[in-house]
Amino acid sequence: MNRFLQWVGATFILKTLTSLMHARESGMCQSYRKICACGQKTSEIFFGKSVLDEKAVSQVYCPKCSQDIDIGRESQVWDNGWVLELDMDVLRTYAPVMGISPDDVTADWVFDEGYATWVGITPDDFQRREEERSEIQELAKTDLRSYIDAMKEWGLSREKRFIEEGWRKAKGTAGRHRVQKSP
């Protein structure tokens, strides 16, 4: 039963990643790469439901450059040392399209509801994922069963690692942060 649950979990992760990649390639949603303020790291931001675009992003700060910024602004989403700073004027303009009052919209809500969030679990997941998967994909050429097992194990260990590292989306915050809508 335990192996079956592992298989189901790995299958779900692979299907989710495939769906996201297909949706992005077919124009159903947008993503945007942005270099952080210090120029050391690159993040990839996903704009779900095609409501927002890169104009909604003011700045991205990696853990190194986020140490030097003012904290506690409503425009900031903090995630494991990374900061996604959104333009509140843009968010308020599009709030009705997102189904929330302009007075109630917050950067956290926009992130957690998937309107402007990381592609994957972390800001640089697109890079890390490809590096990790490329090692495993070599197995597909020689031993398909080992490849499938390795992909399952990789998906499960990745999910566990992200939870342990404290990533916002891995903790299940995304999609659960509800704000009372104004009448």
Domain ranges for the chain:
29-183
Confidence of residue 11 (pLDDT cuts 50, 70, 90): low
| CB-based contact 31:46 (threshold 8 Å) | yes
**Predicted pLDDT of residue 54:** 96
Percent of residues, the chain, with pLDDT higher than 70: 78
Confidence of residue 140 (pLDDT cuts 50, 70, 90): confident
Whether 74 has a pLDDT exceeding 70, the answer reads: yes
**Predicted pLDDT of residue 147:** 92
**Nearest C-alpha neighbor of 169 from the set 98, 115, 111:** 111
Structure tokens that stand for 46 in this block:
């996903």
Q: Using only the alpha carbons of the chain, give its radius of gyration.
A: 18
DSSP assignment of 46-110 equals EEGGG---GGGEEEEE-TTGGGGS----TTEEEETTEEEEE-HHHHHHHHHHHTS-TTT--HHHH
Task: Please give the backbone phi and psi of residue 32, each rounded to the nearest 5 degrees, phi first.
Answer: -150, 130
Whether 43 has a pLDDT exceeding 70, the answer reads: yes
Whether 79 has a pLDDT exceeding 80, the answer reads: yes
Whether 24 has a pLDDT exceeding 90, the answer reads: no
Percent of residues, the chain, with pLDDT higher than 90: 63
Confidence of residue 121 (pLDDT cuts 50, 70, 90): very high
| CB-based contact 77:49 (threshold 8 Å) | no
Residue 42 to residues 32, 121, 169, Cα–Cα distance (Å): 10, 14, 18
Tens of pLDDT, residue by residue over 97-120, are: 999 999 999 999 999 999 999 999
**Predicted pLDDT of residue 7:** 55
Confidence of residue 180 (pLDDT cuts 50, 70, 90): very low
Residue 64 to residues 82, 83, 104, 105, Cα–Cα distance (Å): 8, 10, 31, 28
Helix (H, G, I), strand (E, B) or coil at 34: strand
Q: Which residue has the higher pLDDT, 21 or 75?
A: 75
Please say whether the dihedral angle defined by the alpha carbons of residues 7, 157, 28 and 110, taken in this order, is positive or negative: positive
| Surface-to-core class of residue 110, CB atoms within 10 Å of its CB (0-12 exposed, 13-18 middle, 19+ buried) | buried
**Predicted pLDDT of residue 119:** 94
DSSP 8-state secondary structure symbol assigned to residue 173: -
What average pLDDT is seen over the chain?
84
